[in-house]
A = this chain, B = another copy of it.
Amino acid sequence: MARRIFMGADIGGTNMRTALVDEHGQILHQRRSPTNIHYGAEDTCMRFIAECRSLVEKALSYGCTVQAIGVGIAGKIDRHQGRVLFSPHLPSMKDFPLASKIRKALNTAVIVENDANAFGLGENWVGLGSGIKNWIGLTLGTGVGGCLILDGNLWRGDDLGFVGEAGHMIVSSGGPQCACGLRGCLETHTSGSALRAGADPLTDKTIERGSLADLAQTMQADPEDVYRRACEGDPWAQNLFDHMGWALGLAIANLFTFLGIRHAIIGGGVSAAWDRFIDPLKTSLVAHSSMLPPEQMVIKRSALGDDAALIGASRLAIEHSLTLHSVGC
């Protein structure tokens, strides 16, 4: 009998990634290619399907058949329909029937989920979350996502198409313009986009709180470059990470205060700059918390790194596959 294998995928604003994952959450093989959303949703989808097809063939070379595909993607998702309702960093993918397109092309069961929820499922399965009952997850990438694990399970709220959207919690009402249309969202202070905006070399001034994303249209520098400059002692670059830490600490403090919990796990590409923002984050967390003693606060960096959402998406594929089998499909 062929070994059972699953596919997890993560379609981000910058890259689309796919992986073959076994039943123990182990990645066997993975691929990455640019998302290039500016060619339109159909084009992105076709290239994504081609990526998936390559992995289906790879699976055959292992003597395995892909049982189901789980896809994580930023934005508001109708997971029952497998439809992307709205994705702020993939704007052309609006009300887009992603699952059915992949399913038709590959004749495989497909489930679509918000990428930060996929991150949460991955960390909860084989990452740092597996031993923690209640925790908040934050993903720092092109945008900022979030998830909530309660009693060991992914919290889905009222199943409204969104949940855990920490990036669109307001930390500075009337603050910088966000991709979502509001002002002062956490994402405008904390994302890769915010770092790019703040790092504009033409802006030769100290960045003030709340001014980062107002500069978003400039987009001159990579977050990696800002990180390198901060590590080299550039006070202006470090100031950007100080500000990121301030905003993250404030948002996490508010969630700890209301939820009565004390653990957070942070992942996403921008979390690679951990050593630049964790101290300011902790300072802000303590400064904005009156209920929880500092020694009880636990903020961890994702153990799975970039792979958390891939692994979590494959976990969804496993669960989806089990559901299909249990109803005789």
Residues in A lying within 8 Å of B, measured CB to CB: 76, 133-134, 146, 148, 150, 155-166, 168-173, 178, 180-182, 185, 250, 253-255, 257-262, 287-292, 296
Contact = CB atoms under 8 A, between A and B. Distances in A.
Given A157-B134, A170-B254, A163 B76 contact: no
A171 B173 contact: yes
A260 to B, nearest CB: 3
Contacts of A261: 157-158, 160
Given A169-B254, A250-B173, A181 B262 contact: no
A296 B160 contact: yes
A150 B146 CA distance: 19
Nearest to A293: B160
A22 B164 CA distance: 39
A162 B254 contact: no
A163 to B, nearest CB: 3
Contact of A290 (B181, B259, B289): B181
A309 to B, nearest CB: 18
A113 to B, nearest CB: 13
Contact of A170 (B133, B158, B161, B253): B253
Contacts of A180: 290-291
A170 B258 contact: no
Contacts of A155: 150, 259-260
A160 B288 contact: no
Contact of A166 (B165, B185, B258, B288): B258
Contacts of A157: 134, 259-261
8 contacts: A157-B259, A160-B260, A160-B262, A164-B258, A165-B257, A169-B257, A185-B290, A255-B258
A148 B171 CA distance: 21
A291 B165 contact: yes
A117 B289 CA distance: 20
Contacts of A292: 160, 162
A261 B165 CA distance: 11
Contacts of A76: 291
A4 to B, nearest CB: 32
A76 to B, nearest CB: 6
A290 B260 contact: no
Contacts of A160: 260-262, 291-292, 296
A92 to B, nearest CB: 18
A119 to B, nearest CB: 15
Contacts of A146: 258
Contacts of A258: 146, 148, 163-166, 169, 255
A148 B259 contact: yes
Interface centre among A155, A157, A258, A259 (most CB of B within 10 A): A258
A289 B178 CA distance: 12
A290 B156 contact: no
B168 A257 contact: yes
A134 B162 CA distance: 15
